[in-house]
């Protein structure tokens, strides 16, 4: 979703609410610190007046003492401001990551199946990291610049209203008009850069995962060239943003000098007319020259804000995206007593996958589903899990529509095993315990024996504490699949959904697992999807899915 910069800013600022106290402290210390820095120079002007014999508010000795005090205070206040701002920034980044992970959990699995994993990683890491600039170097500096400009306008205006008006114009142009102009000059380049960066991250992740195939077919040079082309395109986009930033910096410095000269000439003109004395020329000019720090900080943000807002826009897209299926809460728990699909119609977008499908699943029976690839077998299993919402008809468990069963209750009653078992970079023991966090070693062994993998694990040097590597890369496809089955057995759900559970197994291991499933007959209800006729031998009833219909 495309949002305006002001909308993104308002949403991001809203997240600061839990840390408003720290923000107020940062603004206070920043304001006092900048006042100390500016009035150090102003005290120098008073010293010049004293030396030249003009009236000054304090004796020269006291001016030196006060200057020393302001210098020390400036250092302390600057440190305190930065400490508060960075505490706020990094605390909010942690909160944002937590919110994003919660949002991804809410969106999964339906809305995440079509998302590039590399792009998601880019949002979670680099995009959120970019927001540190906004929280640490934008919010409080903007408030500090506003308050500081008001105070300095009043101070300079105390010598003559015209000089105060000129100072206000200078602060408004440098701190407001200039960053807005620079930001608009950047246009959509920031969003393009973040989008291209996410796409490159996805391409690199995809290349790493497919490295064996790339080497096998000698496709390395072509893949490397594609990566180089994407990197160069990203560099060109970043170069455009940097060029805009450089022009903005040059324009800022030119405008600063222009306003400094304007202040000097205006004060001199007033002096010649007798409207101000010599102090009215020297002090306002020195005060303006030394007071641009807060507004210059905002001007320098003009070119980076587009990049930051683009990152914020991508993060907000995830936080505000509505899931296709909402979790259900507050309903009475249901005990499993059979399931079924009744006249179900479902499709992805405009493509209808299932049409008027009816599959009864009586409790304690094993139901087989066969059909060619793409016929909708796996989709039907996902509808039983309520990963997607049916368009017509009803999917029920224990006679109750899955749309009226608490999501947590539904998950406890079901276990799914797919062709691809995801394994975390952890031990076999911890990978299995995802299905039951408090499982005992005896329960682990029993589940693995049913999945025909205990003997293999026991023969490993570290047994169940063996690390499986990232994505289970140290294991074969069959070993990963048997671990997935062991997870399902450990979960001990009464409703077991199996999507090609033996596709990566040899006939011997398949026979062992089918025998284990047959032993569960009557105690567990199974929906079994498979191409293998041998696998369907344990099914009580077999349905064939063809062209979205069941026979």
pLDDT of residue 257: 92
Is residue 65 located within the same domain as residue 149? Answer: yes
- Assess if residue 288 is contained within a domain: yes
pLDDT of residue 107: 78
Is residue 241 located within the same domain as residue 389? Answer: no
pLDDT beyond 70 at 548: no
The DSSP line for 173-189 is IIIIIHHHHHHHHHTTH
Q: Any residues with CB less than 8 A from the CB of 501 and at least 6 apart, and which?
A: 417, 481, 484, 485, 513, 528, 530, 535
pLDDT of residue 60: 84
- What is the pLDDT averaged over residues 8-20? 77
Q: Which of 236-245, 424-433, 490-499 has the lowest mean pLDDT?
A: 236-245
- Assess if residue 19 is contained within a domain: yes
Q: In what order do the strands lie in the sheet with 351-361?
A: 351-361, 339-348, 392-397, 400-401
What distance in Å separates the CA atoms of residue 542 and residue 354, rounded to the nearest whole number? 17
pLDDT tens digits along 329-364: 899 999 999 999 999 998 877 788 888 889 999 999
pLDDT tens digits along 397-431: 999 999 899 988 998 999 888 877 888 888 999 98
pLDDT of residue 546: 78
CATH of the domain at 283: 1.20.1560.10
Which pairs count as long-range contacts for 174-177, CB under 8 Å and 24+ apart, including other chains?
174/252, 174/255, 174/256, 174/259, 174/292, 174/295, 174/296, 174/298, 174/299, 175/145, 175/149, 175/294, 175/295, 175/296, 175/298, 175/299, 176/298
pLDDT beyond 90 at 114: no
Helices (H), 414-548: 428-432, 441-450, 454-458, 477-491, 507-519
pLDDT beyond 90 at 77: yes
pLDDT beyond 80 at 253: yes
Percent of the chain having pLDDT more than 90?
24
DSSP 8-state assignment for residue 292: -
- Assess if residue 328 is contained within a domain: no
pLDDT of residue 443: 92
Count of alpha carbons within 13 angstroms of residue 267, beta-carbon side: 26
Instruction: Please state the domain count of the chain.
Output: 2
Q: 297 versus 158: which is more confidently predicted?
A: 158
pLDDT of residue 111: 67
Mean pLDDT of the chain: 84
- Assess if residue 207 is contained within a domain: yes
Is residue 435 located within the same domain as residue 310? Answer: no
SS3 content of the chain, % helix, strand, coil (to 5): 65, 10, 25
pLDDT beyond 70 at 303: no
- What is the pLDDT averaged over residues 131-146? 80
- What is the pLDDT averaged over residues 423-449? 89
pLDDT tens digits along 268-284: 999 999 999 999 999 99
Is residue 243 located within the same domain as residue 298? Answer: yes
Most confident of 110-124, 311-325, 477-491: 477-491
When pLDDT is cut at 50, 70 and 90, the band that residue 547 belongs to is low
Q: 89 versus 151: which is more confidently predicted?
A: 151
Is residue 351 located within the same domain as residue 252? Answer: no
Is residue 285 located within the same domain as residue 367? Answer: no
Is residue 178 located within the same domain as residue 287? Answer: yes
Q: Give the structural domain span for 276.
A: 5-320
DSSP 8-state assignment for residue 57: S
Last residue of a domain, one of 320, 347, 381: 320
Quote the crossing angle between the two packed helices 293-320 and 5-14, to the nearest 10°: 80
Cis peptide before 109 (omega within 30 of 0): yes
Q: Which two tokens stand for residue 90?
A: 């990094």
- Assess if residue 449 is contained within a domain: yes
Is residue 308 located within the same domain as residue 357? Answer: no
- What is the pLDDT averaged over residues 64-92? 89
pLDDT of residue 287: 92
Q: 371 versus 447: which is more confidently predicted?
A: 447
When pLDDT is cut at 50, 70 and 90, the band that residue 116 belongs to is low
pLDDT of residue 75: 93
pLDDT of residue 76: 94
pLDDT of residue 153: 94
pLDDT beyond 70 at 456: yes
């Amino acid at each position: 979703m495309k949002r305006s910069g002001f909308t993104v800013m308002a949403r991001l600022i809203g997240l600061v609410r839990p840390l408003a106290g720290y923000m107020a402290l940062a603004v206070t210390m920043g304001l006092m610190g900048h006042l100390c820095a500016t009035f150090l120079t102003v005290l120098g002007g008073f010293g010049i007046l004293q030396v030249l014999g003009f009236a000054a508010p304090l004796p020269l000795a006291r001016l030196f003492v006060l200057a020393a005090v302001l210098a020390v205070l400036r250092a302390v206040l600057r440190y305190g401001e930065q400490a508060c701002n960075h505490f706020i920034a990094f605390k909010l980044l942690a909160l944002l990551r937590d919110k994003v992970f919660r949002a991804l959990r809410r969106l999964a699995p339906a809305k995440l199946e079509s998302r590039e994993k590399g792009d998601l990683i880019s949002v979670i890491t680099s995009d959120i990291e970019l927001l540190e600039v906004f929280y640490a170097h934008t919010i409080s500096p903007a408030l500090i610049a506003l308050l500081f400009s008001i105070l300095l306008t009043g101070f300079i205006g105390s010598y003559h209203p015209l000089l105060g008006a000129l100072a206000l114009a200078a602060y408004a142009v440098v701190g407001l008009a200039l960053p807005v102009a620079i930001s608009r000059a950047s246009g959509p380049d920031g969003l393009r850069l973040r989008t291209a960066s996410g796409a490159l991250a996805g391409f690199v992740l995809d290349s790493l995962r497919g490295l064996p195939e790339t080497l096998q077919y000698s496709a390395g040079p072509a893949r490397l060239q594609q990566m180089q082309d994407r990197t160069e395109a990203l560099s060109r986009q970043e170069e455009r943003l940097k060029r805009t930033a450089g022009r903005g910096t040059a324009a800022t410095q030119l405008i600063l000098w222009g306003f400094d000269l304007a202040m000097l000439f205006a004060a001199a003109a007033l002096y010649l007319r007798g409207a101000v004395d010599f102090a009215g020329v020297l002090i306002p000019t020195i005060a303006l020259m030394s007071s641009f720090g807060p507004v210059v900080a905002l001007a320098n943000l003009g070119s980076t804000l587009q990049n930051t807002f683009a990152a914020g826009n991508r993060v907000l897209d995830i936080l505000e995206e509505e899931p296709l299926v909402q979790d259900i809460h507050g309903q009475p728990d249901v005990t499993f007593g059979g399931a079924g699909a009744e006249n179900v119609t479902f499709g992805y977008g405009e493509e209808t996958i299932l049409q008027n499908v009816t599959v009864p699943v009586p409790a304690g029976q094993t139901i087989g589903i066969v059909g060619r690839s793409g016929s909708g077998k796996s989709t039907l299993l996902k509808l039983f899990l309520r990963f997607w919402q049916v368009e017509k008809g009803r999917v029920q468990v224990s006679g109750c529509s899955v749309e009226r069963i608490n999501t947590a209750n539904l998950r406890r009653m079901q276990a799914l095993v797919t062709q691809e078992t995801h394994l975390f970079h952890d031990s076999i023991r911890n990978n299995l315990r995802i299905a039951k966090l408090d499982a005992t070693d005896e329960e682990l062994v029993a589940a693995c024996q049913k999945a025909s993998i205990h003997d293999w694990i026991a023969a490993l040097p570290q047994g169940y504490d063996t690390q499986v590597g990232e994505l289970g890369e140290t294991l074969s496809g069959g070993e990963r699949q048997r671990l997935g089955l062991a997870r399902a057995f450990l979960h001990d759900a009464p409703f077991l959904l199996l999507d090609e559970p033996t596709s990566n197994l040899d006939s011997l291991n398949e026979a062992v697992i089918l025998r284990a499933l047959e032993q569960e007959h009557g105690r567990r209800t199974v929906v079994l999807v498979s191409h293998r006729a041998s696998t369907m031998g344990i099914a009580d009833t077999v349905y064939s899915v063809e062209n979205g219909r069941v026979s």
